[in-house]
């Protein structure tokens, strides 16, 4: 097994992903021993069927990719994903409310989702491409305050993915109490290693096979 495998959330979130694509994703995860598969909530049950006798985790994104839906909608989607077999939830913060400095609503949004999954991993996606440095720090603080288990850089659908500077800013807040997931733009082993050496605990990527085999990736995520 590649030393990278247990860091990777093997990801397929594009709008055109078919059932057969999700089945293939799960088969790839089995082959390469990835930590998890990361899918949209509508595909959690299908992924669970494919991984029923396997220890590979299922991660579902929630409020994806904009984060702008109501808290009630995020909570209901999270409940549904967990009921269908999700082990972990990656939720997008309400970016517009953060930029409006409505911090109470942002942390209550995160807290509401965490409250329905006290024993499951919650990763909070900051979407750092839309935030300045002060906003990244503030978003990280709010996620930690709200009970997040991880803070995550990106959806992969913004203007850019993770950056080294993002991770350093997030680490300055976490101080080891909350883990970090880097996602977006991680397409080769060199980049993956840079993030791991910075202390990242998980990598979100659709280029997992390229990372563990040293081959060139054609993926955009």
The secondary structure of 83-109 as a DSSP string is HTT-SEEEEE--HHHHHTT-HHHHHHH
Q: What is the DSSP letter of 120?
A: S
Q: What is the pLDDT, as a whole number, of residue 170?
A: 98
Q: Which residues are annotated as catalytic?
A: 90, 152, 181
pLDDT tens for the 221 residues of the chain, in order: 799 999 999 999 999 999 999 999 999 999 999 999 999 999 999 999 999 999 999 999 999 999 999 999 999 999 999 999 999 999 999 999 999 999 999 999 999 999 999 999 999 999 999 999 999 999 999 999 999 999 999 999 999 999 999 999 999 999 888 999 999 999 999 999 999 999 999 999 999 999 999 876 767 66
Q: What is the pLDDT, as a whole number, of residue 183?
A: 98
Q: Half-sphere exposure of residue 221, counting CA atoms within 13 Å on the CB side?
A: 21
Q: What is the pLDDT, as a whole number, of residue 175?
A: 82
Give burial (CB, 10 Å; 0-12/13-18/19+) of 197.
exposed
Specify if 87 maps to a domain.
yes
Q: Of 91, 116, 122, 128, which Cα lies nearest the Cα of 106?
A: 91
CA end-to-end distance (rounded Å), the chain: 23
CATH number of the CATH domain containing 90: 3.20.20.70
The Cα 122–Cα 112 span in angstroms is 11
Specify if 135 maps to a domain.
yes
Q: What is the pLDDT, as a whole number, of residue 214?
A: 86
Pair of tokens at residue 157: 């659908």
Specify if 203 maps to a domain.
yes
Specify if 55 maps to a domain.
yes
- pTM here is 0.96
12 and 21 Cβ atoms separated by less than 8 Å: yes
The Cα 75–Cα 63 span in angstroms is 9
Q: Hey, CA dihedral for 79, 80, 81, 83, is it positive or negative?
A: positive
Q: What is the pLDDT, as a whole number, of residue 1?
A: 77
The Cα 39–Cα 102 span in angstroms is 30
Specify if 21 maps to a domain.
yes
Specify if 193 maps to a domain.
yes
pLDDT tens for 116-175 read 999 999 999 999 999 999 999 999 999 999 999 999 999 999 999 999 999 999 999 998
Pair of tokens at residue 212: 């563990």
Specify if 170 maps to a domain.
yes
163: containing domain: 5-213
Structurally, how many domains does the chain consist of? 1
Helix axes 103-115, 133-145, angle to 10 degrees: 40
The Cα 15–Cα 24 span in angstroms is 16
Q: Of 38, 85, 32, which Cα lies nearest the Cα of 60?
A: 38
Q: Which residues contact 72 (CB under 8 A, 6 or more apart)?
A: none
Specify if 68 maps to a domain.
yes
């Amino acid at each position: 097994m590649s030393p990278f495998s247990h860091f990777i959330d093997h990801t397929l979130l594009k709008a055109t992903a078919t059932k057969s694509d999700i089945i293939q994703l799960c088969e790839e995860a089995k082959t390469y021993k990835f930590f998890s598969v990361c899918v949209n909530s509508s595909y959690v049950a299908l992924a669970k069927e494919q991984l029923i006798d396997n220890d590979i985790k299922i991660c579902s994104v929630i409020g994806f990719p904009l984060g702008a839906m109501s808290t009630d909608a995020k909570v209901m989607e999270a409940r549904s994903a967990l009921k269908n077999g999700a082990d972990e939830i990656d939720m997008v913060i309400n970016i517009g409310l953060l930029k409006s400095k409505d911090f109470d609503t942002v942390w209550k949004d995160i807290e509401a989702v965490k409250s329905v999954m006290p024993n499951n991993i919650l990763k909070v996606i900051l979407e750092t491409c839309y935030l300045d440095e002060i906003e990244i720090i503030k978003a990280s603080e709010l996620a930690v305050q709200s009970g997040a288990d991880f803070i995550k850089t990106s959806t992969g659908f913004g203007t850019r993915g993770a950056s080294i500077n993002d991770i350093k800013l997030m680490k300055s807040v976490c101080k080891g109490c909350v883990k970090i997931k880097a996602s977006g733009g991680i397409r080769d082993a060199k980049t993956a290693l840079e993030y791991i050496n910075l202390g990242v605990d998980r990598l979100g990527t659709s280029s997992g096979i390229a990372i563990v085999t040293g081959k060139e990736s054609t993926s955009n995520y």
